[in-house]
C-alpha cells in the first residue's frame, strides 16, 4: 500500500477534531435521552476535552519546561501522546461527575465511546504518517511519500536515497490500534454487567487500552516516537510506562471489586467546606484554558471550543432562567464576565498564532438567519358595568388568552469599510415570515404572511455610532395596549406598510458601550422585537465580537446576545429573549424567543 497525499497534516487535524465531535454528539445524544440538561453535558465535555488535550501535551514536555507553558501566547511544544490524555481525561470525568452529579450508570457509556473516539483519531495518524511502524517486507506494509515522517527518517538513517519517491514499507501500527480500540469497545460494553461498580468497568477498559498500546509499541518505530529510542533492560522507556499504567489500573479494578456493595451515592465535591458548583467548574476551566493557552494548536482549540463555549453560554442562560425574578441577578451575572473574558483571550491567541486576522479596509458580507418565538395577549370582551350614581361603578370583562406564534427567515447583503476604529456599513435585507394567532381552549385561528425589504446604513466611530434605515412591506407589530371590550382578536396585531429604523451607540465597543435600536435587528424585528436598549462589551476584541444584555420595549423582555468571528470568513450571532413576565396567567410551557444568523465575508481588499 502506498500513501501519497498533499498536506497530510490536514487529515490529521480533520480526524482529530472529528474524534471530539463524535465524543460530544454521542454523549449529548445519550445524556439527553437520560434527562440531563444540555449545559450539564457540555460542561462535562468541555472539562474532558480540556483535560485530554492538555494531558496529551504535558506528558511530552520536560518537567523543567512546565513553567514556560504558563501565560504564553506562543506554541513551543508540538508533541502529544494519547496515553497522557487518557489519564487526565479520566481525572476530569471524575471531577465533573462529582460537581455536576451525573449518575454512575450514565458514565458506563464512556467505556465504549472513548475507544471509538481514539480509533477515529488514529485514522488521522495513519493518513498523516505520524506514529508509524518499523520497516517490514509484509504485503500489508505501507509506503509513505516524500515529505512524510517515515520518508524523512528513513533517509536520515541512510535507509533510502533522498531521490526515492517512497519510504520503506512499514507496519501500519495505526490500523492495528484502530482494530484493537474497536475490539476493546465491544468487549468492555458486552461485559459491563459483570462489574459490581461502574468505575471498575471504566478502569478495566483503560487497562485494556494501555495493554494494547504496550503490545503495538513493539511494532512502532522509535524514531517516530516523541519518547525517543532509549531503552532499559531491552525495553524502551515508553514500554515501561505503558506496562506500569496497565498493571496499576488492573490492581485498582481488583481493589474496587473487593469493596462491599455497588457504586456509592454521589457526593458533591467539596474543599474545606466549600462546595463546587457548575459555575465554579466553568470559571476553573476558563482559567486553566487561559493560563495554558500556549500549549494548544489551532485544531486543538476547535476541538475544545465546540463544547466549552456553548457550555459557558448555556450556563449563563440557565442562571438567568433560574434567577429570573432575583432583584440582583444582573450583579451576580457579572461573575460570568470572568470566564467570558478569559475565553475571549484564547480566541485572540489563536487568531494571532494562525495569522487569521487580516487588516482589511473593505469586504462584502452575506447574512442568513431566523427569528422564531411566541407570545400571549389577554383578550377582554363582553364588558359588564355594575354600580353607578354616587356609589361609583366598575367594569368587568370576559378574559380569553390569545397565543401568537411567529417565525421569519431572511438574507442580507452588505458592504463594509473599515479604517482604524471607524466602520461604515451599508446594505439591504429581505425576509419572509408567518404569524399565527389562536385562542387558548377556544376554536379560532388567524394566520398572516409577512414580508419586508430593509435598506440601511450605519457608521461607527470609536466612541459613538449612528444608523438609519427603512422597513417596507407587509409588516406586523404587536400592539402596546390591550383592546378592551372588543372580541376581535385580530386587532392585537397592527399592520404597517413602512417602519423607519434608528441606531445610536455611545462608548468604546471593544470595552463597554450602550446602544439603542428601533428596528436594526436581523433578520426581522417583527412582531415584538423592534425596540431595545442594551449594554455590552467587545470582550477586548475588535468589532466582530460582542456580548450584550438588554431589554425590549414596551414589553419589557430581557435578552442576551453574542457575536463572534469563527474564521476569517465565517461569523455567527445569536440572541435569546427570556420568557415574558406577563401581568396575567399563561401556560407553564411558554418559552422565550430566539434569533440566530450566520454570515460569510468575502472580497477582502
Structure confidence by residue, pLDDT tens digits, 289-300: 777 777 777 778
- pLDDT above 90 covers a percentage of the chain that reads 17
DSSP symbols for 139-162: TT-BEEBTTSHHHHHHHHTTSS-T
Residue 234: Cβ-neighbour burial (10 angstroms; 0-12, 13-18, 19+): exposed
In this prediction, residue 416 carries a pLDDT of 94
Confidence of residue 85 (pLDDT cuts 50, 70, 90): confident
DSSP symbols for 197-262: SHHHHHHHHHHHHHHHHHHHGGGB-GGGSTT-S-EETTEEHHHHHHHHHHHHHHHHHHHHHHSSSS
The model scores a pTM over 0.85: no
Cα–Cα distance, 223 to 487 (Å, whole number): 83
In this prediction, residue 100 carries a pLDDT of 84
pLDDT above 80: residue 74:
no
Mean pLDDT to the nearest integer, 161-176: 88
Range in 249-263, 412-426, 579-593 the model is least confident about: 579-593
Residue 175, beta-bridge partner list: none
pLDDT above 60: residue 240:
yes
Give 578's DSSP letter: P
pLDDT above 80: residue 566:
no
Cα distance from N-terminal residue to C-terminal residue, the chain: 45
- For residues 529 and 551, is the Cβ–Cβ distance under 8 A? no
pLDDT above 60: residue 588:
no
Which of helix, strand or coil describes residue 108? coil
Instruction: Read off φ and ψ for residue 397, nearest 5 degrees.
Output: -130, 155
Confidence of residue 151 (pLDDT cuts 50, 70, 90): confident
Cα–Cα distance, 369 to 355 (Å, whole number): 28
Q: Where are the domains of the chain?
A: 36-102+278-320+328-356, 363-602
Cα–Cα distance, 379 to 358 (Å, whole number): 55
- For residues 546 and 536, is the Cβ–Cβ distance under 8 A? yes
- For residues 449 and 474, is the Cβ–Cβ distance under 8 A? yes
Confidence of residue 560 (pLDDT cuts 50, 70, 90): confident
Q: Which three cell numbers stand for residue 426?
A: 451599508
Q: Which three cell numbers stand for residue 186?
A: 465491544
Cα–Cα distance, 131 to 600 (Å, whole number): 37
Confidence of residue 275 (pLDDT cuts 50, 70, 90): low
Confidence of residue 76 (pLDDT cuts 50, 70, 90): low
- For residues 311 and 43, is the Cβ–Cβ distance under 8 A? yes
Of the candidates 473, 513, 477, the one whose C-alpha atom is nearest the C-alpha of residue 493 is 477
pLDDT above 90: residue 453:
yes
Confidence of residue 455 (pLDDT cuts 50, 70, 90): very high
What torsion do the CA atoms of 417, 422, 428, 433 make, to the nearest 10 degrees? 130
pLDDT above 70: residue 166:
yes
CATH fit for domain 363-602, picks 1.20.120, 3.40.50, 2.40.128, 2.120.10: 2.40.128
In this prediction, residue 326 carries a pLDDT of 61
pLDDT in tens, 475-524: 887 764 444 444 555 556 677 889 999 999 988 888 788 899 998 999 88
Mean pLDDT to the nearest integer, 225-239: 77
Range in 150-159, 315-324, 371-380, 552-561 the model is least confident about: 315-324
Residues 6 or more apart whose Cβ sits within 8 Å of residue 373: 405, 406, 407, 528, 577, 591, 592, 593, 594
Mean pLDDT to the nearest integer, 428-441: 84
Task: Please state whether 195 falls in left (phi above 0), alpha (psi between -120 and 50) or beta.
Answer: beta
Q: What's the alpha-carbon Rg for the chain, to the nearest Å?
A: 30
> Quick count: other Cβ atoms within 10 Å of Cβ 521?
22
Residue for grid cell 471531577 = 95
pLDDT in tens, 530-554: 889 998 888 777 788 888 888 887 7
Range in 40-44, 136-140, 341-345, 422-426 the model is least confident about: 341-345
Q: Is the dihedral of CA 103, 105, 109, 110 positive or negative?
A: positive
Q: Which three cell numbers stand for residue 411?
A: 438574507
Confidence of residue 272 (pLDDT cuts 50, 70, 90): very low
Average pLDDT, the chain: 79
In this prediction, residue 432 carries a pLDDT of 94
Residue 419, beta-bridge partner list: 422
pLDDT above 90: residue 182:
yes
pLDDT above 80: residue 356:
no
pLDDT higher at 480 or 344 = 344
Amino acid at each position: 500500500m502506498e500513501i501519497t497525499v498533499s498536506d497530510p497534516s490536514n487529515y490529521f487535524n480533520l480526524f482529530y477534531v472529528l474524534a471530539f465531535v463524535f465524543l460530544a454528539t454521542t454523549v449529548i445524544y445519550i445524556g439527553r435521552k437520560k434527562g440531563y440538561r444540555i449545559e450539564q453535558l457540555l460542561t462535562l465535555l468541555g472539562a474532558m476535552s480540556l483535560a485530554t488535550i492538555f494531558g496529551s501535551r504535558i506528558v511530552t514536555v520536560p518537567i523543567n519546561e512546565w513553567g514556560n507553558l504558563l501565560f504564553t501566547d506562543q506554541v513551543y511544544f508540538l508533541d502529544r501522546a494519547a496515553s497522557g490524555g487518557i489519564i487526565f481525561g479520566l481525572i476530569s470525568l471524575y471531577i465533573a461527575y462529582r460537581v455536576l452529579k451525573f449518575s454512575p450508570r450514565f458514565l458506563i457509556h464512556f467505556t465504549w465511546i472513548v475507544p471509538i473516539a481514539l480509533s477515529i483519531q488514529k485514522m488521522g495518524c495513519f493518513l498523516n504518517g505520524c506514529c508509524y511502524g518499523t520497516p517490514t517486507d509484509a504485503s500489508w506494509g505501507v509506503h509513505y511519500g516524500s515529505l512524510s515522517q517515515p520518508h524523512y527518517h528513513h533517509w536520515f538513517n541512510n535507509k533510502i536515497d533522498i531521490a526515492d519517491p517512497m519510504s520503506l514499507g512499514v507496519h501500519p501500527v495505526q490500523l492495528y490500534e484502530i482494530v484493537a480500540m474497536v475490539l476493546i469497545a465491544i468487549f468492555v460494553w458486552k461485559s459491563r454487567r459483570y462489574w459490581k461498580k461502574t468505575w471498575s468497568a471504566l478502569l478495566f477498559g483503560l487497562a485494556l487500552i494501555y495493554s494494547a498500546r504496550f503490545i503495538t509499541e513493539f511494532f512502532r518505530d522509535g524514531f517516530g516516537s516523541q519518547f525517543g529510542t532509549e531503552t532499559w533492560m531491552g525495553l524502551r522507556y515508553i514500554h515501561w510506562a505503558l506496562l506500569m499504567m496497565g498493571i496499576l489500573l488492573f490492581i485498582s479494578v481488583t481493589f474496587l471489586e473487593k469493596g462491599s456493595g455497588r457504586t456509592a451515592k454521589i457526593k458533591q465535591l467539596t474543599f474545606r467546606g466549600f462546595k463546587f458548583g457548575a459555575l465554579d467548574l466553568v470559571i476553573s476551566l476558563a482559567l486553566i484554558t487561559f493560563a495554558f493557552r500556549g500549549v494548544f494548536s489551532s485544531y486543538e482549540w476547535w476541538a475544545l471550543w465546540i463544547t466549552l463555549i456553548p457550555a459557558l453560554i448555556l450556563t449563563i442562560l440557565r442562571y438567568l432562567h433560574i434567577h429570573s425574578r432575583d432583584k440582583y441577578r444582573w450583579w451576580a451575572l457579572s461573575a460570568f464576565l470572568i470566564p467570558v473574558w478569559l475565553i475571549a483571550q484564547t480566541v485572540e491567541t489563536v487568531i494571532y498564532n494562525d495569522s487569521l486576522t487580516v487588516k482589511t479596509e473593505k469586504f462584502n458580507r452575506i447574512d442568513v438567519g431566523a427569528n422564531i418565538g411566541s407570545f400571549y395577549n389577554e383578550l377582554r370582551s363582553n364588558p359588564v358595568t355594575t354600580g353607578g350614581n354616587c356609589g361609583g361603578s366598575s367594569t368587568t370583562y370576559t378574559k380569553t388568552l390569545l397565543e401568537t406564534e411567529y417565525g421569519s427567515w431572511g438574507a442580507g447583503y452588505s458592504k463594509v469599510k473599515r479604517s482604524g476604529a471607524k466602520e461604515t456599513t451599508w446594505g439591504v435585507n429581505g425576509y419572509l415570515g408567518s404569524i399565527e394567532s389562536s385562542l387558548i381552549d377556544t376554536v379560532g385561528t388567524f394566520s398572516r404572511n409577512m414580508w419586508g425589504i430593509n435598506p440601511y446604513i450605519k457608521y461607527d466611530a470609536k466612541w459613538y455610532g449612528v444608523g438609519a434605515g427603512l422597513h417596507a412591506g407587509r409588516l406586523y407589530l404587536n400592539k402596546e395596549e390591550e383592546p378592551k371590550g372588543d372580541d376581535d382578536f385580530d386587532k392585537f396585531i397592527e399592520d404597517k406598510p413602512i417602519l423607519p429604523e434608528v441606531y445610536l451607540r455611545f462608548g468604546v465597543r471593544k470595552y463597554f458601550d450602550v446602544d439603542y435600536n428601533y428596528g436594526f435587528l436581523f433578520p426581522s424585528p417583527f412582531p415584538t422585537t423592534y425596540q431595545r436598549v442594551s449594554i455590552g462589551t467587545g470582550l477586548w476584541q475588535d468589532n466582530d465580537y460582542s456580548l450584550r444584555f438588554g431589554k425590549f420595549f414596551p414589553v419589557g423582555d430581557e435578552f442576551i446576545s453574542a457575536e463572534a468571528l469563527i474564521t476569517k470568513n465565517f461569523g455567527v450571532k445569536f440572541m435569546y429573549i427570556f420568557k415574558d413576565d406577563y401581568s396575567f396567567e399563561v401556560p407553564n410551557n411558554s418559552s422565550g424567543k430566539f434569533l440566530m444568523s450566520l454570515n460569510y465575508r468575502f472580497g477582502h481588499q
